[in-house]
Chain A
Amino acid sequence: MNSIGVIGIGNPLRCDDGIGIYLVNSIKNIGVFQNTSISFLDGGTRGIGLIHLFDRFDKILLVDAVEMKKKPGSFHFFSIDEVQSNKKKDLLSSHSEDVLSIVLLAKEIHSYIKPIYVFGIQPENVSFGQEFSIEIRKNLVLLQEELKKTIQRLIEK
């Protein structure tokens, strides 16, 4: 069976930017995917350190707040190959993080291109703070359910 890494990305101290980690931890704690080949990881703000996670699994699902110009609290599932970053990739530093640049770096280094998917949640507010915005809070249950379904589809794919 293919191994799948479900990796929450983001900063829990920046309001909606923490939604990825929250969702991954909540699905992990429910335990519905216990005894499967799914691993749930907190990618946090690891930056370049994320590269070392990418070659551990056959498939990767990143769960993160993504600016998609959509309604806050909505979600979208896509392959990493379908998007381009709006951030300058030259600004790579040990602390700053453009996940798409890091994925690109990982793909070019490892040459073998693994399927990398994103469960992206449109944030409303990514300023400093520990509370999700109202739109995110309203949709938490829905987001959890949709993430579970997405993971199940990846298992069956």
Chain B
Amino acid sequence: MSTSKEISIIVEHVTRVEGHGNIVLNAKNGEIKKIQWQISEAPRFFESFVRNRPYYELSHITSRICGICSIGHALASLKATENALKIPISSQTEHLRKLPLHGENMQSHILHVGYLVAPDLYRVGSVFPLISSAPETVKKIVSLHRLANEMSDLICGRTTHPITLVPGGFSAIPSKNKLNKLKTRLEKSLPVCSEVANVILDNVDKLPDFSRETEYIALTDKTEYALYDGKIGSTDTGTHSVEDYESIVNEFIVPQSTAKYCKHRRESYMVGALARFNLNASLLHPKAKALAKKFKLSPINYNPFMNNIAQIVEYVHSVEDSIHLIDMMVDNGLNREDKPLKIHLSAGRGIGAVEVPRGILFHDYTYDNNGLCTKANCVIPTNQNHNNIQKDMEAFTPQLLEKPKDEIKLNLEMLVRAYDPCISCSTHYLDVRFIDE
């Protein structure tokens, strides 16, 4: 049945997301005239101002791209530098780097689901009403968030903009005693995770039932649920080398967005927790797998709203894997003298890819013989998701037109929030050439 009403919705600055994005919907007589996800954030020019900076500065500069994913940016940056300059790392360094990446995933996911998405499930405007209606749950969310932050503090020197991550390894390594204390806290947090998950489970029916067949892209590995390392995986085309990332992301410009769009096999693709789950669910740790089953989440799930459920599943996986990593490092004998080797400079290009909370992140650097950066390119996960948000909106909106205006608005905002976008991080510098008229 088509509706005769005229619908005009403009949401300026969608709330409870990072950065600024607008939703515009014009519809009349059941026909959508315009549905747009608009990005108006300014580019931030990181790829320009890292030029001529020495290799040891780049991870510290680029970690400032984001305050939430600063560890992920630092690690993608270090991997790109290490690949370009052929800097080896020890297996201990590789294992130790995975811990703060887990910590970052945990703090971002619990913050997003607990503070930003949960209000939608309870149909309130913010987390404040939840404090009086569900105070114990909010306290548990705060405690899980704190644990994740302090985990990153321990390994990286601080939660935001890590200090101890350097080319070739770490400038300081925590003691076995501190790692064991962290492990105890992680073990104690598992029942708390479960309690919070149960609260979300009680309200999961509030998530819209919407599906659109989509390509999912994430790091993938044969031996573990990939966050730190792996090949590029696609649900459509299998695995690809990280060096081929440009042929995967295919960035292009659209008038409604200062952030670029991406596409691969289809018109758009999705990255993030749901993409990782769809590609790698079989490699989750047991409790995370059990939680996914409880939520009836199984691959391949095409509902973007389930991205937030995948985030809760990943939180539990990160806790389990962190416990496993600590056990492994302590059993192997933690070497606190494991310092980076002397670096021999030579020109080269390297690409680093890691999974950050919102999806696959690429850093691509070129250096000269003096170790100065001559070129850089960073492709951010939210950048890769903008096109898919647009396509999801185009497919989802027709189902909403019969609803009251406020409900249409809420559903479209929830769709954006489902992606957990980090918008100001995603507007990286545009490289244009003016065509003479």
Tell me whether A and B are bound partners: yes
A69-114 interface with B by 8 A CB criterion: 89-96, 104-105, 108-109
User: Cβ of B149 and Cβ of A94 under 8 Å apart?
Assistant: no
Cα–Cα distance between A95 and B159 once the two chains are bound (Å) = 14
B259 within 8 A of A: no
User: Cβ of B128 and Cβ of A105 under 8 Å apart?
Assistant: yes
Stretch binding the partner chain, chosen from A1-9, A26-34, A47-55, A147-155 = A47-55
User: Whole-angstrom distance from the CB of A131 to the nearest CB of chain B?
Assistant: 18
User: Whole-angstrom distance from the CB of B90 to the nearest CB of chain A?
Assistant: 31
**Nearest-CB residue, chain A, relative to B16:** A93
User: Cβ of A94 and Cβ of B142 under 8 Å apart?
Assistant: no
User: Cβ of A104 and Cβ of B18 under 8 Å apart?
Assistant: no
A14 within 8 A of B: no
Which residues does chain A contribute within 8 Å of B307, judged by CB atoms? none
Q: Do A94 and B108 form a contact, CB below 8 Å, given A51-B142, A109-B135?
A: yes
Q: Do A109 and B142 form a contact, CB below 8 Å, given A93-B116, A95-B67?
A: yes
User: Cβ of B142 and Cβ of A89 under 8 Å apart?
Assistant: no
Which residues does chain A contribute within 8 Å of B138, judged by CB atoms? 109
Which residues does chain B contribute within 8 Å of A51, judged by CB atoms? 142, 145-146
B196 within 8 A of A: no
User: Whole-angstrom distance from the CB of A106 to the nearest CB of chain B?
Assistant: 9
B160 within 8 A of A: yes
Cα–Cα distance between A33 and B146 once the two chains are bound (Å) = 28
Q: Do A89 and B128 form a contact, CB below 8 Å, given A45-B67, A48-B111, A95-B67?
A: yes
Cα–Cα distance between A48 and B424 once the two chains are bound (Å) = 18
Interface string of A11-51 (1 = CB under 8 A from B): 00000000000000000000000000000000011111101
B126 within 8 A of A: yes
Cα–Cα distance between A93 and B146 once the two chains are bound (Å) = 17
**Chain B residues touching A, majority SS:** helix
Cα–Cα distance between A45 and B116 once the two chains are bound (Å) = 18
User: Cβ of B111 and Cβ of A109 under 8 Å apart?
Assistant: no
Q: In the complex, which of the residues B13, B68, B139 contacts A94, with contact meaning CB atoms closer than 8 Å? A: B68
User: Cβ of A93 and Cβ of B15 under 8 Å apart?
Assistant: yes
Q: In the complex, which of the residues B19, B128, B422 contacts A104, with contact meaning CB atoms closer than 8 Å? A: B128
User: Cβ of A92 and Cβ of B145 under 8 Å apart?
Assistant: no
Which residues does chain A contribute within 8 Å of B43, judged by CB atoms? none
User: Whole-angstrom distance from the CB of A69 to the nearest CB of chain B?
Assistant: 25
Cα–Cα distance between A104 and B126 once the two chains are bound (Å) = 13
B341 within 8 A of A: no
B41-67 interface with A by 8 A CB criterion: 67
User: Cβ of A48 and Cβ of B15 under 8 Å apart?
Assistant: no
User: Cβ of A90 and Cβ of B15 under 8 Å apart?
Assistant: yes
**Nearest-CB residue, chain B, relative to A49:** B149
Tell me which of A44, A47, A48, A94 has the highest count of chain B C-beta atoms within 10 A of its own C-beta.
Answer: A94
B201 within 8 A of A: no
B126-142 interface with A by 8 A CB criterion: 126-128, 131-132, 135, 138-139, 142
16 chain-A/chain-B pairs, Cβ below 8 angstroms: A44-B160, A45-B67, A46-B67, A46-B159, A51-B145, A91-B15, A92-B115, A92-B116, A92-B126, A94-B108, A94-B111, A94-B112, A94-B422, A95-B422, A108-B135, A109-B135
Q: Which 4 A-B pairs give the minimum distances between C-beta atoms? A: A95-B18, A90-B126, A108-B131, A52-B146
